[in-house]
Structure 1
Amino acid sequence: MTGKTARAWTVTKPWPVTLREDTLDGSVVLRPLRRRDAHDWMTLRARNAGWLEQWEATSPRPGPGGSPTFGEYVRALASQARNGSSLPFAVEFDGELVGQLTVSSITYGSLCGASVGYWVSEHVAGRGIIPTAVAMSVDYCFAVLGLHRIEINIRPENGPSLRVVEKLGLRDEGLRERFLHIQGAWRDHRTFAITTEEVPEGLLARWQATRRGDG
């Protein structure tokens, strides 16, 4: 599904789905991660180890056994997507795998909300790829999944990630103390959020207007 079709919300089922937005800088695509991505994904992660590891969640009580294989990881993500608890996207830029974006903790009922997390390779950071990807995913959650609120939790020290939510104009809801376990300790996070009422035109449209300078 292209970006234009995605915003028309003509989907037969919420997953698997591919979203695309063609920007002046290049094409940003969100699609399911596949087992055949193994080599590119592992190469990308190895190249960005120092860039990413300081921000990634860890477990205070590691379980038995070692880390899952890439195939097991992809299968676990696919299972979560099928049961409706997450949307685990690979992020492509001009056909190159450059990161991941996951909509997680999808909840209906009185909350109708979810969380978004993301990472991107350092070599393409700052080019508007992740803001565009986040905006696409938020619009999809609101229009297709029927969610009402999306939040993003970021460590106060993570400048590049903070710039993403600042560019998109998400509301700062304050500090959550000792919110997630990262690199051996419980770390504070700032929570940023947006609801459907705040972007009747769509978050992607607002982001595009901001980039053009007319928003």
Structure 2
Amino acid sequence: MKSPWPAELTDGVTLVRPIKLRDQRAWREVNRRNRDWLRPWEATIPPSPPGRMPPQRPTYRQMVRHLRAEAHAGRMLPFVVEYEGRLVGQLTVAGITWGSMCSGHIGYWIDQGVAGRGVMTTAVALATDHCFRSVGLHRIEICIRPENLPSRRVVEKLGFREEGLRPRYLHIDGAWRDHLVFALTSEEVPEGVLARWRHEAPGATEIK
């Protein structure tokens, strides 16, 4: 049986693959160009208690090495997203928990230049199907700020259930922010998330 990590997931011109050290130049270029687009939704570090040095943001290389170590430990699946051969975003399955829970949560961002084309919707569908079918998870959760309408459209198109509000859940853009919780379990999509989306919206990966 093929190992669930590392894995490359494809649908048409969309590729979801493990992040690599050699992605640094492309990753930095996309982040720099999308700074204003991404800033309102990016995680930030809250103020440190008195007398404690604030943690420093890792370099790209430190980030990738940490993500890869977590992946090898079975706690994370760190991907980048390519569209038509170009790096356009990042998708991470994190917080993977086994035992009686068997769950994980997905976070993502995408280049504004390809937003609205179904790229991240396809990537989230591919990653969720991989988690259910190959990794063996039972539940996938996605937490989104209520104001983030483009990200909410992704989970709505894929049929994630809205489960409620988590007040002041994550430190985002300099403050503790509320998040809406969306989730799916494997029993809800026996045909697969991508297949269900396509069935409900034919041609979705091309026009959405």
**TM-score normalised by L of structure 1:** 0.89
Residue by residue over 1:5-27, the C-alpha shift from the partner in whole angstroms, topping out at 9 and shown as x without a partner, is xxxxxx521211111111xxxx1
Letter paired with 2:116:
G
Q: Distance in 1 between matches of 2:203 and 2:78?
A: 31
User: What corresponds to 1:190 in structure 2?
Assistant: 180
Counterpart for residue 32 of structure 1: 18
Query: Aligned partners of 1:203 and 1:138: how far apart in 2?
Result: 7
Distance 2:155 2:92 in 1: 15
| Distance across 1 between alignment mates of 2:149 and 2:43 | 17
What's the secondary structure of 1:172's corresponding residue? strand
Partner residue of 2:57? 67
Q: 1:7 matched to which residue of 2?
A: none
Paired with 1:101 and 1:188, the residues of 2 have a C-alpha distance of 21
1:65 Cα deviation (Å)? 6.0
Q: Does 1:54 align with 2:5?
A: no
Would you say 1:132 and 2:118 are equivalent positions?
no
Q: CA deviation at 1:64?
A: 4.8
SS in 1 for 2:78: strand
Q: Deviations along 1:69-104, whole A, 9 cap, x unmatched?
A: 211111111111110100000000011000000000
Alpha-carbon distance in structure 1 between the residues aligned to 2:133 and 2:104 = 14
* Preserved CA contact (<8 Å) 1:91 1:99: yes
Give the counterpart letter for 1:110 in structure 2: S
Task: Verify the 8 A CA contact 1:148 1:196 in the aligned structure 2.
Answer: yes
Rounded to whole Å, the distance in 2 between the matches of 1:200 and 1:155 is: 28
> Structure 1 residues 61, 82: closer, same or farther in 2, change over 3 A?
farther
Q: Is the 1:180–1:186 Cα contact (8 Å) retained in structure 2?
A: yes
List aligned pairs for 1:1-215, cutoff 5 A.
12-22=2-12, 27-61=13-47, 64=54, 66-212=56-202
Q: TM-score, normalised by structure 2?
A: 0.92
SS state at 1:110 partner:
coil
In structure 2, stretches of 5+ residues that fail to align are none
> Where do 4+ consecutive residues of structure 1 move more than 6 Å?
none
Q: Retained in 1: the 8 A contact 2:47–2:54?
A: no
Deviation readout 1:31-58 (Å, 9 max, x if unpaired): 1111111111101000000011111111
Q: Which amino acid letter does the alignment assign opposite residue 145 of structure 2? A: R
Matched residues, percent identical? 55
Mark the runs of 5 or more structure 1 residues left unpaired by the alignment.
Answer: 1-10
Are the aligned partners of 1:132 and 1:207 in contact in 2 as well (CA < 8 Å)? no
